[in-house]
Structure 1
Amino acid sequence: MTSRSSFGLPLAALPLALSVAGAQAQTTPPQLRETVVTATRVVQPLMDVVADVTVVDREAIERSGAVAVADVLARLPGVELARNGGAASVTGVFVRGAEPRFTAVFIDGVRVDSQSTGGATWNALPLAQIDRIELVRGPAAAVYGSDAMGGVVQIFTRKGEGAFAPSVSVGAGSHGLRQVQAGFSGSSGTIDYALSAADERSTGFDSQPGSNPDRDGHHNRSATARLGWQINPAHRLDATALSSRVNAQYDGYVPGDDDRSFHHLNTLGLTWQARWTDSYQTRVSASRGRDRYDSAPYSYLTETTVTSYLFHNEWRQGAHLFTAALERREDELDNVSTTPAISGRHQDALALGYGWVAGAHALQLNLRHDRDSEFGDKGTGSAAYAYSFAPGWRATASAGTAFRAPTLYQRFSVYGVPSLKPESGRNVEVGLRYAHQGTAYGLVAYRNLVSDLINYVPGSGPCANGMGEYAGCYANVARARYSGVTLSAARRVAGVHLSASLDLQSPRDLDTGLQLVRRAKRHASLAADTRVGEWLLGAELKLSGARFNDTANTQRLGGYGLVNLHASTPLAPDWSLLLRIDNLGDKDYATVRGYATPGRTLYAGLKWAPR
């Protein structure tokens, strides 16, 4: 790709930037009481977690100026994205180079998935409704079952606490972007509540300049509701709901048509938590996630419903934590090209866990057995150990197995094969981390081997109904290796917070020896922020090496470097202002061949939140 400007930085300079950040800078120390739940489905202090976890809070999300969840994640170590145009277009997220369908996604504990494409529909996840994101890198199938082969993303909406607190925010930016969000939260006696709604519109830009010259805009509407009831000190009920509707324009096969996609994402969850003794507590939940897609003027309807039931038990005895869970997952697919009589399945599972934290040592063991109504039994396990061998220093090692069940579309569409086997993975990783008084360094090396990888094979057949012999079928035909090293460093110098990360990875097809599509061998970021008076000023540099758009590695996508700037300040006790410039150098690049990216964009947001 060519550049709209002369801006560019060599990727080779990143190791130097990392060493400078590590030697001269210092970040704000993490809160000692900060907890995470995604790593093991148990609330844990972040400092006790052995897994490779990153937490993003609402303040960081707002400061990022991002318009989509995938953009927030792409700023984190080990994460890349590929997108067919604007923020509302088809988006893939790669965690440690793994396939997008290999990342399990939850919203307030509700699993969301598409049994058509496999994985979450990232462009339908409403960023305006999100209060916190937890990212676990590496397989977690021994905890979550199918899908968690590359990582887990857990999204949390706002929970009410304290006095009644309303908030309103508005924003405007390039490409006709307009955003408005309003909500309130709080608690009264034993009841806590939160309600929020958002509307986002954009006239968009021409996502395919070479084939259909028009602007591809979008309109997103979303809402969340959360209600909690602390029945007594030992028992609590929580109910959550989310709705997201996306109307996005895209370029189809006929120039001049007003092609549109309609994504509807809905989640419902109900949880009862009970503490029976000081040592024993349980959690019972029922949830449903629904992902619906349709298009116009040429209709293609597909709808996935994932219903889950969980009975989770925790027993603590000193430094020991034992967990046992029974879980049932029911998948349903309504698709115009699947066999109506066999469009559903269920999985029943038993999961066991053991955790131990004592002094310098931490151990986490997990075993899980899943029984699928179609392909039978699948067992997974993981073991992780951490040793704090010196003040501030911690070494970790882990190993685990994982799987992803074939989607219902891969098995029962006109291109499907009912006899497909689950994709299976084996992962090992080691890590070394240092954290002391805000200074942080990190190194994680990993290797994830996947067998029975499912690919679409053109010209193969026959498929489920015999129609696929000409077009092709899905098949377990590949093996893949996702291996790499992630380096990170952060410190503070002279009032400036610096952080940097560098990913060196090799996502490779083991049968052909070629690089897997749309993933770079190297990508990195460097960020700095400081306060000047009442202003918080920040800059970030994002670098990515070259990738390939096809499995034969003949369609090269050039590397790129992007500079983003942000500034925020309180205007009054209850008002704040956010300004942001993305892609300052107006770099012309692509993450998917033939699809444009936004170029330089400006954003200004105003928020009212009485304290």
Structure 2
Amino acid sequence: MTRMFVSLLALVAATPALALSDQPPAPAETAETAAAPTGDVVVTASRSGDAIPTDLIGSSVTVLDSDALAQRQTRMVSDILRDVPGVAVSRSGAIGGTTQVRIRGSESNHVLVFVDGIKASDPYYSEFDFAGLVADENARIEVLRGQQSALYGSDAIGGVISYATLTGREAPGITTRAEGGSQGTFSTAARAGGVAGDNVDYAVSAAYLTTKGYPAAPGGSRDLGADNLGVSVKTNWTPSPVFKLTAVGRYNYTRADTDDQAIAPNSPMVLGYPVITLVDTPGSYYKNSAYYGLVSAELNLFDGAWSNMLSGQITDATRDGYTSAGYSYGDRGRRYRAAFNSTVRFGNEHVRNRFTYAVDFEREQARVIDPSGYAFTGTNRSDTTGFVAEYELTVDQRLSLGASARIDQYSRFKGAETYRATASYLLPTGTRLHAAYGTGIKAPTLTELFGYSTGQYIGNPNLQPERSKGWEAGVEQIFAGGNAKIGATYFDNRFEDEIQTVYVFANGQYVTSSANSATSTSQKGVELYANIKLKDWRVDAAYTYLDAPQSVLAVASPAPADGSYQAPVPVITQAVRRPKNSASLNVSYIPDALPLSVTATLRYNGAMRDYAFSSSYQTLLVDLHDYVLVNLNASYDLTKRVQIFGRVENLLNRKYQEVFTYRAPGTTAYGGVRIKL
């Protein structure tokens, strides 16, 4: 592995001379000069920063463009992610409840999330909570599936999700939207973008959603309301054709009501045991705010043959919890991240080569706020330095090969090496074959290393990164002049050294800690998809079959007559909150001859399992039933600048749970107006 990495570095070091040879360099690929037959391009699939056609990417990737978000009237970003193959979303009750996203059976903290190019996970939790991410006007989502740690390091085991607002050049103009509806919900968004002079573009966007919510506790009456705000500022300054300076700032804020869990008179029965359930807890809520910032400078030389980018970013996250008695708890997390990328491109109109070398530095620090004085409240810190080498080859815009390798050095534990190889070939018939193989890592969190509550949770400084390896292979058929494609992908992953919560005996009592598991787990499955844009119609469909067996210690037999304690035993089950079968279908009718659009959305979530806990905190497994949700959206243009719209969600009023004991909303309806200037 080390020899491979050194060889790649040697090639990168030699490429500036190659770029200046007699063979003229090819210009950098862009959305305009290297568009795929389907028109979609992706920037997360390469560290070069180039926009790469999806038909030249060996990994599985889904693009949700601004039109898709608008036609499905997306208000919370997590909702549209349910339409992506391989993705499972679980929200704990109402808007504002913890919202986790899993890819291909991975854990939610195995998914790397970028928001406007900034690593957005909370440094304290080492996970991104989608609960407060409100969709902006004119935004775009990329979902890159499979192990991507060779490009991005830790957290990218399951894949990468990139959410980005469009620049002023991509979407100029002023747009504002306001809507209201069920559960006392009101949301609004505004955006202004454009170009100032010849060398500056800018975009300012804001989105706000407030709702009184509904009772999420079974049998409860307390509405769980939420307020969510997102503000983004993005600007690019290009004083010359070879230099560009970019600045991004973002602020997210969430204030949401919460309920506690306890044994209650109406507690559900599982295997004969009454289990802990959600109960009304008046006065309980949390506040979460996060500041994000990014500055980057890019220098392009020799007609785009050699580009260099230096960037720095910061994530500052704050979370505070309150009860009816006042302030209860809090935590603080901050991440500093710097990166240097250097890419060399050379070749001709038939063969294009691209070498990228990157260095990443990241510092994470976090601490607990505990008004009771019980927990350790000092600041813990961890540093990571990563070195990346990547090579990509494209032949006649049909064959694409890629290889990347990465070494991560950690200040708190042993370093890790990851690698990835990809291939894609587009036949003249429009049939595309693609495959990828890679490894991934997830570094231990600061909480797992240091603990968070003295005497209750003990950190384990001997933890090692979680590891994954896997492969995928797929086939895709493009037809109708590039306006339609259908595809199927098979994937097979294996996880090792997973970090699990364990009980240890210390100071005369049992306390919790973390340890690397000695066993491995596997996740395999099939993803099917279809994307069709023909005349007045747009159809997007996805289906996922996931086989993710997991061994858990749980009670396996009904409770004795006296309800006494039973020791847990190993039970093989599908990993919790990950259905074996899931699917979505979006059909939009957008006639050119009429100022009307209609979209119908069907989302199927198959049966899955979740954890339940008895009064003795025995782990039990509970079945959650499958369900189908139907949404119907429509919009009508009164003029070229004024549009009215409306939607109904959960049209059939299905009763279901995404997380055990958390009720989901019934039928809701919304309507509003959008103005474009």
- Report the TM-score when normalising by structure 1: 0.90
Which of 606, 611, 618 is equivalent to 1:545? 606
Do 1:129 and 1:223's aligned partners in 2 also have CA atoms closer than 8 Å? no
- In the other structure, the counterpart of 1:228 is 236
Return closer, same or farther for 1:579/1:177 CA change in 2, 3 Å cut-off. Answer: same
- In the other structure, the counterpart of 1:381 is 419
- In the other structure, the counterpart of 2:311 is 285
Distance (whole Å) between structure 1 residues aligned to residue 75 and residue 170 of structure 2: 29
RMSD between aligned residues = 2.2
Distance (whole Å) between structure 1 residues aligned to residue 361 and residue 377 of structure 2: 23
Moved more, 114-123 or 439-448: 114-123
- In the other structure, the counterpart of 2:472 is 429
Return closer, same or farther for 1:245/1:421 CA change in 2, 3 Å cut-off. Answer: same
Do 1:440 and 1:491's aligned partners in 2 also have CA atoms closer than 8 Å? yes
Distance (whole Å) between structure 1 residues aligned to residue 388 and residue 311 of structure 2: 15
Which of 323, 334, 338 is equivalent to 2:367? 334
Deviation at 1:46, TM superposition (A): 2.8
* Deviations 1:315-366, CA, capped at 9 Å, x for gaps: 0011110000011011111224775556111100110000001033210100
Do 1:125 and 1:265's aligned partners in 2 also have CA atoms closer than 8 Å? no
Any idea what SS the aligned residue of 1:40 has? coil
Amino acid at match of 1:546: A
Deviation at 1:448, TM superposition (A): 1.2
- In the other structure, the counterpart of 1:95 is 103
Which of 447, 453, 459 is equivalent to 1:409? 447
Matched, 1:608 2:675: yes
Amino acid at match of 2:319: Y
Moved more, 305-314 or 164-173: 164-173
Matched, 1:261 2:269: no
Amino acid at match of 1:308: R
Query: 1:290-309 alignment to 2 at 5 Å?
Result: 290-297=316-323, 298-309=327-338
Moved more, 371-380 or 156-165: 156-165
Deviation at 1:597, TM superposition (A): 0.8
- In the other structure, the counterpart of 1:503 is 544
Do 1:113 and 1:306's aligned partners in 2 also have CA atoms closer than 8 Å? no
- In the other structure, the counterpart of 1:476 is 516
- In the other structure, the counterpart of 2:23 is none
- In the other structure, the counterpart of 1:196 is 205
Any idea what SS the aligned residue of 2:394 has? strand
Query: 1:485-504 alignment to 2 at 5 Å?
Result: 485-491=526-532, 495-504=536-545
Which of 382, 385, 388 is equivalent to 1:348? 385
Do 2:309 and 2:342's aligned partners in 1 also have CA atoms closer than 8 Å? yes
Do 2:485 and 2:531's aligned partners in 1 also have CA atoms closer than 8 Å? yes
Distance (whole Å) between structure 2 residues aligned to residue 345 and residue 439 of structure 1: 47
- In the other structure, the counterpart of 1:9 is none
Query: 1:49-68 alignment to 2 at 5 Å?
Result: 49-68=57-76
Distance (whole Å) between structure 2 residues aligned to residue 328 and residue 402 of structure 1: 18
- In the other structure, the counterpart of 1:271 is 296
Deviation at 1:390, TM superposition (A): 4.2
Deviation at 1:461, TM superposition (A): 4.5
Distance (whole Å) between structure 1 residues aligned to residue 539 and residue 188 of structure 2: 32
* Deviations 1:182-222, CA, capped at 9 Å, x for gaps: 23111111211111223221110011133x42000011122
Do 1:381 and 1:400's aligned partners in 2 also have CA atoms closer than 8 Å? yes
Amino acid at match of 2:94: G
* Deviations 1:389-425, CA, capped at 9 Å, x for gaps: 4421111111101100010011111322111111000
Any idea what SS the aligned residue of 1:520 has? coil
- In the other structure, the counterpart of 1:78 is 86
Moved more, 445-454 or 48-57: 48-57
The structure having more radius of gyration, on CA atoms, is 2
Higher relative contact order, chain-length normalized (CA < 8 Å, sep 6+): 1
Matched, 1:322 2:366: no
Amino acid at match of 1:343: N
Any idea what SS the aligned residue of 2:78 has? helix
* Deviations 1:80-134, CA, capped at 9 Å, x for gaps: 1111111211111111121100000111221112244331121122323661111
Do 2:134 and 2:209's aligned partners in 1 also have CA atoms closer than 8 Å? no
Distance (whole Å) between structure 2 residues aligned to residue 536 and residue 230 of structure 1: 38
Deviation at 1:564, TM superposition (A): 1.2
Matched, 1:515 2:574: yes
Return closer, same or farther for 1:564/1:521 CA change in 2, 3 Å cut-off. Answer: same
Deviation at 1:231, TM superposition (A): 1.5
Deviation at 1:495, TM superposition (A): 4.8
Distance (whole Å) between structure 2 residues aligned to residue 162 and residue 107 of structure 1: 17
Any idea what SS the aligned residue of 1:555 has? strand
Distance (whole Å) between structure 1 residues aligned to residue 63 and residue 400 of structure 2: 20
Amino acid at match of 1:473: S
Alignment length, in residue pairs? 576
Do 2:364 and 2:381's aligned partners in 1 also have CA atoms closer than 8 Å? yes
Amino acid at match of 1:357: T
Distance (whole Å) between structure 1 residues aligned to residue 522 and residue 428 of structure 2: 33
Query: 1:347-366 alignment to 2 at 5 Å?
Result: 347-359=384-396, 360-366=398-404
Do 1:224 and 1:241's aligned partners in 2 also have CA atoms closer than 8 Å? yes
Which of 597, 613, 628 is equivalent to 1:536? 597
Distance (whole Å) between structure 1 residues aligned to residue 415 and residue 461 of structure 2: 16
- Report the TM-score when normalising by structure 2: 0.81
Do 1:525 and 1:540's aligned partners in 2 also have CA atoms closer than 8 Å? yes
Amino acid at match of 2:514: Y
Query: 1:447-466 alignment to 2 at 5 Å?
Result: 447-457=492-502, 459-462=503-506
Amino acid at match of 2:186: R
Return closer, same or farther for 1:445/1:516 CA change in 2, 3 Å cut-off. Answer: same
> Structure 1, unaligned stretches of length 5 or more?
1-28
Which of 498, 506, 525 is equivalent to 2:584? 525
Kindly, what percent of the aligned residue pairs are identical? 27
Do 1:361 and 1:387's aligned partners in 2 also have CA atoms closer than 8 Å? yes
Do 2:504 and 2:511's aligned partners in 1 also have CA atoms closer than 8 Å? yes
Amino acid at match of 2:538: H
Distance (whole Å) between structure 2 residues aligned to residue 242 and residue 499 of structure 1: 31
Matched, 1:593 2:660: yes
Runs of 4+ in 1 over 6 A off after TM superposition: none
